[in-house]
Copies of this chain bind each other. A is one copy, B any other.
Amino acid sequence: MENKPLARKLGALVVLSEAELGVLEGLHRRRRTFVAGRDLVHQGQSDQAAYILISGWAFSYKLMANGERQIVDFQIPGDFLGLRSVLLHISDHSIEPVTDIEVTEVHVSDLLEAFSQTPRLATAVMWAASRDEAMVVEHLVNVGRRNAAERMAHFLLELGARLTLVRLGSREGFACPITQYLLADALGLSAVHVNRVLRQLREAKLLTFRDGFVGFENYDRLAEFAQFDPTYLDQGGPLLPIDAAR
């Protein structure tokens, strides 16, 4: 149970049968660990497997010629790593663990076999992939059209909502191993400005970020400030029979 955040995530949106849970479980055979800071997937690398993140945090990013990077998204327990790359011959981004992480390696063949056994599971996984894409779209809106403070607030609210789905967060806040430098690369800001913006939000009594913990001081006011509308995270579940409970 503690080690099945994916089941918990999918289960929050679809009622999974015992059989489906069993198939899902079967995907978690090849367990591996990676240490913080060492890429598991390199931009340009081909022929790689996908992973399901069990514990710890990672992030996917693109490197620019001048050495700067843009973080596309952070991955938390229950998320896939490199799912899209499996469809393509070449990974167009890199993935690096923020902390030491535990993952299970999934080969395309395993995944396809699991799908053929339980089509509902296939839909659920494709739903998860669509949700990932919707998040990237929202990040684009974030970076393109929100100022630094709103951007920060929106980003942390999204993370909080995602973590809540796998019981690692709540409306109070969440434990967060991200440094201000990583935040800067995710939000398209400089590290210095990230620091200033965090102070600003703290002084406005909206949120705190200290000692690896994000605290929502006033969730509702913060959500309004950031124009945070979480429908893109939780679209009522995939196209499944109506018996799918919420």
Interface residues of A (CB under 8 A from B): 44, 62, 64-66, 68-70, 72, 84, 87-90, 92-93, 108, 123, 126-127, 130-131, 133-134, 136-141, 143-146, 187-188, 227, 231-232, 235-239
Contact = CB atoms under 8 A, between A and B. Distances in A.
A61 to B, nearest CB: 9
Given A65-B227, A134-B92, A239 B87 contact: yes
Contact of A93 (B68, B84, B137, B187): B137
Nearest to A68: B145
B92 A235 contact: yes
A87 B126 contact: yes
Contacts of A92: 134, 137-138, 231-232, 235
A64 B142 CA distance: 10
A235 B133 contact: no
A65 B228 CA distance: 10
A238 B64 contact: no
Nearest to A123: B87
A141 B64 contact: yes
A221 to B, nearest CB: 15
A133 B134 contact: no
A8 to B, nearest CB: 20
B133 A238 contact: no
B90 A231 contact: yes
17 contacts: A44-B231, A62-B141, A68-B145, A72-B137, A84-B130, A87-B123, A87-B130, A87-B239, A88-B130, A88-B134, A88-B236, A89-B235, A90-B236, A92-B137, A108-B239, A139-B140, A143-B144
